[in-house]
Amino acid sequence: MQNPEVLPMQEGQESTGFLIIKDATQELSSKQKDAITLSVEAEVKKQVAMDKNSLFTVFGLFASVVTFISVEVQILKSACSSFALA
């Protein structure tokens, strides 16, 4: 089996985070292709799960900050109105 070659990115081509590899796929058996496909699918699923968790964490922190600020504003409004009435 030959070593794969890494092709340079084409001008104007978007980066997907994957290297474009040129290899002799004819030399791979169907079992090898299936094994590679399964390992890539598993890695992609793992990355998607990690990204979802990160996204939920960011949204949770944002919601917490917004809630804290809105509660503080309500407390300050009521405190200031009670001083104005007195």
pLDDT by residue for the chain (86 residues), tens only, comes to 445 555 555 666 555 555 555 555 556 788 888 889 999 999 999 999 999 999 999 999 999 999 999 999 999 998 888 766 65
Contact 20, 4 (CB under 8 A): no
Residues 6+ apart with CB under 8 A from 10: none
pTM score of the predicted model: 0.49
DSSP state of 12: T
Biggest alpha carbon–alpha carbon distance for the chain: 88
Among all chains, which residue has been given the structure tokens 């290899």? 23
